[in-house]
């Protein structure tokens, strides 16, 4: 079932990217310090001033007297060099600029408020309420605004005059220089609907009037409609706390006048501890910029100090994931788009490609401090869209057809070891290893049969991962059910899986089956062949890649490293290995849904370990994906070498060769091991250039499909001819129509072009 809004909010809350930076959260007024620092670092003082004007009610006053509660929260503090001097930067910016932004005044609203006192908290409450459209009147016994700020040396007279002008500009009425009798205001009076008492001017007023102490969250007094704050606790002029009280009181008064809850959704008012996560492990220390003049920076000094800002944010998953970077999202925003795609969006559902492009590898959850389950979210939505008929079959059809081929009699095999009637073990290489390295698959099986007692059976098949990744939950369960039945028919032996994905799925969905990895089995056998490298010219130093499916299989990863050490190989590892392993671009069927992104994923995975290095892997699809971008070998090719060639030089075999290798492997095994008379295959000869072969690969067109088109065309004499004299034939196979441009050549056919589409020809509709 799809998520509801409450479940979505709970999921979104796991992502901390939108949490305030630590300095912003610590600031009671939540000034955008990060944005301010970015502008200062670029020397954009006018833009920096806009941020001060938006965030601070009276920046000339607050920036001068603020005691900087943001500095202890700065991630630059301590061993990274020291917290930024935010206050000095603010004062420099103010000295270089004039007011750059003024909050608009909203239309008039019902309600009249009395502000009693002229200190900073009263001024802030007055400006917040006046510009929101409330009729507001400020009363102070002093001759002018400022309260204890007037006692400063020197007093900020110009800034206070400017503040008074701002207040009047918003329509505030100021009554100053007249003695105030609180009793006048405490009597029943229809003149005002709410009151704010500035305790800086009336320090003992609330208790003596019987109003009690102000409630911390709302500053409400016991008398309805009355609020109080701004108490100065020492001589240091804690203006930031006074400003916070004024803003908090303004929010409370607005809610009272609007008959809204006084307490709802107020947890993040004032200073608080941010949930943001920022990795600082890689940050180099950078000491503070000490100004030549202790009272102010020069422009160069200010810019250099601001450049020390780390611009704190999370984005840890985005830094590593090509999928998130491609779509310019992070988990919270992506989860919302995924949710909206199925519950709100109608028509084309343009987010389908995004949902299908995730490799489902889970690296992001491992990196995320709160383990945001983005892969599970994408998978669940694929399954939901398949159930509702909203997932076009084209995104995953090629992979599902390939899986069906692995399930077919052409490839599938489940046998006891030759000469045995029972199996203690069952070797399960997986469809991709059988397609990529059929010779090593056979060599490993024969070796296991020699070294393990109790019989080693063999099963050639697909674990059903493509169906699961495609959101085809029912098809996946059907595949599992059939596999489970065949395993039971062989006596429920222990599975030895060469593929990390197969092992992972069997452990999760066939818990009754005992599963171990091929690598652990080989590492534990005392007689595992450990041949020397075939040529002294071959590399002995390798960049090791862990497949993403091995993320939570530490025993497998350890066994691989042990085998490499026994081979005398020196391994280079990267941060994105082990539990942080990234995907090669095949997982989750990314390569089907978004081939360019899959290519990018493979290139990034390889580049992280060094483009010039020789790479070694223990996943067949990782090997083939990475081999397209440089020399890459499979560990089995070093344990069970086929010839003297460098395994890392073997190219990516491509879809067609992997497809055919699986069928040929079954035929060869039955003939050579089980001594079954298998007829030799006669295959139509195709002459395909490397350029055309790459084209077929990119278009997901198998050579087998090309042969079927040609067989139909030549058998029925049904083809067209173009100006070049080439033959052009088409044939609808499954749900795809394939077209091939070709011509006879010797005993075979030269392929010039091939493409496919999903249109149904008129004659096929009849």
CA distance 68 to 549: 48
Domain-embedded: residue 64:
no
Looking up residue 204, the CATH number of its domain turns out to be: 3.50.50.60
DSSP codes, 48-102: HHHHHHHH-SSHHHHHHH---TTGGG-TTSGGGS----HHHHHHHHHHH------
The two structure tokens encoding residue 119: 């200190």
Do 607 and 551 lie in one domain? The reply is yes
Question: H-helix or E-strand containing 748?
Answer: strand 748-757
Do 239 and 123 lie in one domain? The reply is yes
Predicted confidence at residue 733, as pLDDT, reads 84
The two structure tokens encoding residue 576: 């994105």
pTM of the model: 0.86
Do 120 and 244 lie in one domain? The reply is yes
| Residue 416 half-sphere exposure toward CB, CA atoms < 13 A | 15
Residues with Cβ within 8 Å of residue 734, at least 6 apart in sequence: 397, 401
Predicted confidence at residue 188, as pLDDT, reads 64
Domain residues for the domain of 694 are 686-765
Domain-embedded: residue 119:
yes
Domain-embedded: residue 726:
yes
Residue 725's SS3 state is: coil
Question: Could you tell me the CA-to-CA distances from 554 to 98, 163, 581, 609 in Å, in that order?
Answer: 61, 64, 12, 20
Do 247 and 339 lie in one domain? The reply is no
- The distance in angstroms from the start CA to the end CA of the chain is 39
Domain-embedded: residue 29:
no
Domain-embedded: residue 244:
yes
Residue 343's SS3 state is: helix
Do 118 and 246 lie in one domain? The reply is yes
Q: Where are the alpha helices (DSSP H) in 472-535?
A: 473-489, 500-509, 518-524
Do 561 and 648 lie in one domain? The reply is yes
Give 421-432 as a 3 state SS string.
CCCCEEEECCHH
Number of domains forming the structure of the chain: 4
CA distance 352 to 195: 55
Residues with Cβ within 8 Å of residue 536, at least 6 apart in sequence: none
Do 616 and 698 lie in one domain? The reply is no
| Residue 138 half-sphere exposure toward CB, CA atoms < 13 A | 34
Do 341 and 242 lie in one domain? The reply is no
CA distance 548 to 362: 8
Residue 756 φ then ψ, to 5° = -145, 160
Residues with Cβ within 8 Å of residue 330, at least 6 apart in sequence: 15, 17, 314, 315, 317, 318, 324
Predicted confidence at residue 201, as pLDDT, reads 84
Last residue of a domain, one of 391, 423, 442: 391
The two structure tokens encoding residue 302: 């200010």
Question: Could you tell me the CA-to-CA distances from 182 to 104, 202, 204 in Å, in that order?
Answer: 33, 9, 11
Q: Which of 454, 460, 459 is nearest to 420 (CA)?
A: 454
Q: What is the mean pLDDT of each run of 10 residues along the chain (766 residues)?
A: 82 96 96 98 97 96 93 94 96 93 91 94 97 95 91 92 95 91 74 92 68 89 92 66 96 96 94 95 94 93 97 95 95 92 62 92 95 95 91 88 94 96 97 94 95 96 97 96 96 97 96 96 79 55 92 96 90 89 94 93 85 87 92 92 84 90 93 84 87 90 92 94 93 87 94 84 51
Tell me: cis bond preceding 154? Omega within 30 of 0 counts.
Answer: yes
Last residue of a domain, one of 361, 391, 421: 391
Predicted confidence at residue 573, as pLDDT, reads 86
Do 614 and 703 lie in one domain? The reply is no
Do 555 and 648 lie in one domain? The reply is yes
Please report how the helices 33-41 and 299-306 are oriented relative to each other, as an axis angle in degrees rounded to 10.
130
Domain-embedded: residue 1:
no
Last residue of a domain, one of 633, 652, 671: 652
Do 622 and 578 lie in one domain? The reply is yes
Predicted confidence at residue 346, as pLDDT, reads 54
Domain-embedded: residue 419:
no
Predicted confidence at residue 234, as pLDDT, reads 54
Do 627 and 744 lie in one domain? The reply is no
Question: Could you tell me the CA-to-CA distances from 704 to 393, 403, 549, 560, 651 in Å, in that order?
Answer: 21, 15, 30, 36, 20
Domain-embedded: residue 117:
yes
């Amino acid at each position: 079932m799809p998520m509801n809004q409450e479940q979505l909010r709970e999921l979104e809350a796991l992502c901390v990217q939108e949490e305030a930076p630590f300095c912003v959260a610590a600031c009671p007024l939540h000034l955008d310090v990060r944005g301010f620092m970015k502008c200062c670092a670029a020397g954009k003082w006018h833009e920096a001033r806009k941020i001060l004007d938006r965030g601070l009610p009276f920046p000339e006053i607050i920036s001068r007297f603020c005691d900087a509660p943001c500095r202890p929260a700065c991630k630059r503090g301590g061993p990274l060099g020291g917290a930024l001097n935010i206050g000095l930067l603010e004062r420099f910016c103010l000295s270089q600029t004039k007011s750059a932004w003024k909050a608009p005044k909203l239309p008039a609203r019902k309600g009249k408020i009395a502000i009693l006192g002229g200190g900073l908290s009263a001024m802030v409450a007055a400006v917040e309420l006046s510009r929101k459209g409330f009729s507001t009147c400020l009363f102070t016994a002093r001759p002018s605004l400022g309260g204890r700020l007037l006692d400063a040396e020197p007093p900020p007279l110009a800034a206070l005059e400017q503040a008074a002008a701002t207040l009047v500009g918003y329509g505030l009425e100021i009554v100053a220089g007249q003695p105030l009798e609180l009793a006048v205001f405490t009597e029943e009076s229809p003149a005002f609907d709410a009151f704010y008492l500035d305790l800086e001017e009336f320090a003992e007023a609330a208790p003596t009037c019987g109003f009690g102490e102000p409630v911390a969250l709302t500053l409400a007094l016991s008398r309805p409609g009355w609020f109080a704050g701004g108490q100065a606790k020492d001589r240091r002029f804690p203006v930031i706390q006074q400003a916070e009280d004024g803003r908090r009181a303004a929010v409370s008064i607005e809610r009272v006048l609007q008959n809204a809850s006084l307490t709802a959704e107020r947890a993040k008012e004032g200073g608080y501890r941010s949930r943001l996560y920022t990795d600082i492990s890689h940050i180099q220390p950078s000491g503070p910029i000490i100004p030549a003049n202790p009272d102010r920076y020069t422009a160069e000094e200010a810019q250099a100090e601001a450049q020390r800002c780390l611009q704190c944010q999370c984005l840890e998953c985005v830094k590593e994931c090509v999928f998130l970077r491609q779509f310019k999202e992070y988990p919270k925003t992506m989860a919302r788009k995924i949710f909206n795609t199925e519950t709100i969006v109608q028509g084309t559902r343009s987010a389908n490609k995004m949902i299908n492009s995730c490799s489902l590898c889970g690296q992001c959850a491992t990196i995320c401090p709160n383990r945001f389950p983005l892969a599970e979210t994408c998978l669940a939505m694929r399954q939901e869209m398949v159930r509702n008929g909203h997932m076009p079959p084209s995104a995953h059809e090629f992979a599902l057809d390939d899986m069906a081929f692995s399930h077919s009699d052409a490839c599938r095999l489940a046998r006891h070891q030759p000469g045995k009637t029972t199996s203690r073990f069952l070797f399960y290489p997986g469809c991709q290893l059988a397609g990529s390295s059929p010779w090593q698959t056979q060599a490993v099986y024969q070796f296991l049969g020699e070294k393990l007692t109790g019989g080693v059976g063999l099963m050639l098949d697909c674990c059903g991962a493509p169906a699961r990744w495609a959101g085809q939950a029912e098809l996946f369960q059907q595949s599992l059910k059939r596999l489970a039945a065949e395993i039971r028919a062989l006596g429920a032996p222990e599975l030895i899986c060469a593929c990390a994905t197969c092992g992972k799925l069997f452990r999760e969905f066939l818990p009754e089956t005992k599963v171990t990895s091929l690598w652990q089995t080989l590492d534990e056998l005392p007689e595992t062949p450990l041949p020397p490298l075939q040529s002294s010219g071959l590399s002995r130093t390798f960049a090791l890649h862990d497949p993403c499916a091995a993320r939570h299989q530490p025993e497998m990863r350890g066994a691989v490293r042990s085998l490499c050490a026994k081979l005398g190989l020196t391994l280079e590892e990267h941060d994105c290995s082990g539990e942080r392993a990234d995907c090669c671009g095949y997982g989750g069927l990314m390569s089907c849904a978004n081939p360019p992104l899959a290519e990018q994923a493979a290139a990034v995975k390889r580049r992280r370990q060094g483009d010039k290095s020789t790479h070694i892997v223990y996943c067949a699809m990782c090997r083939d994906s990475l081999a397209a971008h440089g020399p890459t070998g499979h560990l089995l090719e070093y344990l069970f070498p086929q010839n003297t060639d460098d395994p890392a030089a073997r190219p990516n075999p491509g879809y067609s060769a992997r497809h055919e290798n699986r069928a040929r492997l079954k035929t060869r095994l039955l003939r050579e091991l089980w001594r079954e008379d298998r007829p030799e295959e006669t295959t139509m000869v195709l002459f395909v250039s490397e350029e055309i072969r790459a084209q077929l690969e990119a278009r997901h067109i198998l050579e087998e499909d090309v042969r079927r088109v040609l067989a139909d065309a030549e058998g029925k004499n049904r083809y067209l001819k173009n100006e070049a004299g080439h033959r052009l034939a088409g044939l609808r196979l499954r749900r795809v129509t394939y077209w091939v441009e070709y011509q006879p050549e010797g005993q075979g056919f030269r392929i010039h072009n091939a493409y496919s589409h999903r249109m149904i020809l008129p004659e096929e509709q009849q």
